């Protein structure tokens, strides 16, 4: 009976973590985690590489100048290919409780970070970020730079902190009081 139980459990465990896909081209890095996994992503730039680490989830290289080990613990993309100067990052976190952190990205890089459904933790970088919490009870931090935090989803989010810079927050009336946001619109 024990052997049968193990055999039944293994396939579902293998299916549980679909990877986020990382691609890069024309100065834009795209990170798409639209499938049903809880993604934890740390983005950074070191030397000539843009890198996405997934400490507790999985990432997969979408080809081009990006590659990673079979363990899918990280993907790195060469930014010295033609048109490869990293200018913008677009992240879609998908429908579960996800985490993304851009605190190790240069201030010259802008981003759009979309939490999707689920209770997400979104941390922008030192540059200008556009954060869209999406449905769920989210935690959003803009960091430095002139950020826009759009947390209007009809539900109360956990924490909204625009950080340094001249920032804008777009909120529901029931959202908590935002911190460090110069312009706030509630509806």
State the binding string over 157-186 for Ca ion (x if CB under 5 A, else -): x--------------x--x-----------
Is 38 a binding residue for Ca ion by CB under 5 A? The answer is: no
Number of residues near Ca ion (by CB under 5 A): 17
Question: Do the Cβ atoms of 174 and 155 come closer than 8 Å?
Answer: yes
Which residue lies nearer to Ca ion by CB, 65 or 125?
125
Q: Would you put residue 128 in left (φ > 0), alpha (ψ -120 to 50) or beta?
A: beta
Is 124 a binding residue for Ca ion by CB under 5 A? The answer is: yes
Q: How far is the CB of 107 from Ca ion (least distance, A)?
A: 8
Burial track 109-137 (b if 16+ CB lie within 10 A, e otherwise): bbbebbbbebbbbbbbbbbbbbbbbbebe
Of 125, 39, 40, 59, residue with least CA distance to 86: 125
Is 116 a binding residue for Ca ion by CB under 5 A? The answer is: yes
- Residues lying near Ca ion in the complex (CB under 5 A) are found at 93, 98, 115-116, 118, 120, 124, 129, 142-143, 145, 147, 151, 153, 157, 172, 175
């Amino acid at each position: 009976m024990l052997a049968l139980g193990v055999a039944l459990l293994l396939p579902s465990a293998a299916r549980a973590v679909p990877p986020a896909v990382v691609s890069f081209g024309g100065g834009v890095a795209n990170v798409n985690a639209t499938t049903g996994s809880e993604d934890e992503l740390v983005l950074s730039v070191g030397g000539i590489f843009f890198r996405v680490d997934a400490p507790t989830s999985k990432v997969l290289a979408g080809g081009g100048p990006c590659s990673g080990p079979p363990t899918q613990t990280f993907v790195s993309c060469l930014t010295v290919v033609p048109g490869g100067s990293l200018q913008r990052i677009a992240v879609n976190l998908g429908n579960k409780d996800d985490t993304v952190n851009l605190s190790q990205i240069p201030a010259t890089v802008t981003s759009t970070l979309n939490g999707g459904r689920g209770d997400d933790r979104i941390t922008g970088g030192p540059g200008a970020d556009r954060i869209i919490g999406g449905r769920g009870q989210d935690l959003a931090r803009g960091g430095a730079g002139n950020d826009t935090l759009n947390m209007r989803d009809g539900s109360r989010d956990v924490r909204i902190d625009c950080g340094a810079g001249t920032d804008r927050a777009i909120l529901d009336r029931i959202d908590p009081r935002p911190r460090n946001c110069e312009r706030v619109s509630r509806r």
